[in-house]
Chains A and B, each alone.
Chain A
Amino acid sequence: MYDHLNHVQQQFKQREIKIELQGFKSVYTRPGQLQYHIEAYNEYLLLTNCSVLPVGTRILSDTNSLEVKKGHRRIEALEEFSGLVSIELPRGTNYFPIIEFIQIVKE
């Protein structure tokens, strides 16, 4: 298993993006609400627990989009989102996870 934080530091250095703040952001999902919106302008959110999200969950943002499939349970790669981030849980789900991101605020 690779070190997520180390990977983030290395990759942002490669991309010449200077980091002002590195932290965590969590979205607490709950029954009765399937859509969530997070503002991540001038920052990046890296999804860390894709493997626990219900299959069919969609995360759409200005820079990247993802639909969780069965195969994602075995993937360790970090998906990165930025701008306005919309999270849509699949209809009919009875599982409401905490969605965790590494938050990177750039200079």
Chain B
Amino acid sequence: MSVTRYSIVSFWVQKPGEIISFQHKIPAYLKRCTGFKLSLAGSMDASLLNCEIGRISASFNSLKEEAITANLIHHELEAQDFQELAVHLHSGQIVSGVYVDSLLSEEFTPYKVQLYLRCTDKEGQTQNQKGSCTTT
């Protein structure tokens, strides 16, 4: 029986235009990442509804696979599903990336970004499956 685990990379954005780099280690027993979701935590001005808040990119397996490029959009309801990802994980390697805030509003309020990574310990069909690039 396989298990699915969710890793959360979270960080606070404190000022407009801020650039935040992150590194994260996925537990070594997980073999594949099958999805990701980018979400916003905290309140955001209503005038920014459906606007792009920022942009994230992330690579897996210690910079070997660029797999995520996505925009964070402020939605009224947090109903965004996971987007598909197909990355075979090398044990113990790092996920690294960068988030860039794209708000130019003068009425900026700090907010929290959460990147959820859905990973499984089940091997894929192909051992050397390469990551696919997913763009929102």
Which A residues form the contact surface with B (CB < 8 A)?
Answer: 14-17, 58, 60, 62-67, 82
Interface residues of B in 44-101 (CB under 8 A from A): 57, 59, 62-64, 66, 69, 98, 100
Q: Could you tell me if A62 and B98 are in contact, using CB atoms closer than 8 angstroms? A: no
**Assembly CA distance A67 to B19 (angstroms):** 7
Option from B19, B62, B100 in Cβ contact (under 8 Å) with A15: B62
Option from B17, B57, B62, B64 in Cβ contact (under 8 Å) with A64: B57
Listed A/B pairs (10) with beta-carbon separation below 8 Å? A15-B63, A17-B64, A58-B17, A60-B100, A62-B69, A63-B57, A63-B59, A63-B66, A65-B98, A82-B66
**Assembly CA distance A60 to B19 (angstroms):** 9
Having A15-B62, A62-B66, A67-B19, one finds 11 other A-B pairs with CB under 8 Å, namely A15-B63, A17-B64, A58-B19, A60-B100, A62-B57, A64-B57, A64-B98, A65-B19, A65-B98, A65-B100, A82-B66
Q: Which residue on B lies nearest to A82, using beta carbons?
A: B66
A58: chain B residues within 8 A (beta carbon): 17, 19
**Assembly CA distance A65 to B62 (angstroms):** 17
B17: chain A residues within 8 A (beta carbon): 58, 67
Q: How far is the CB of A58 from chain B (nearest CB, A)?
A: 7
B100: chain A residues within 8 A (beta carbon): 60, 65
Q: How far is the CB of A47 from chain B (nearest CB, A)?
A: 14
Identify which of A15, A60, A65, A82 gathers the most chain B CB atoms within 10 Å of its CB.
A65
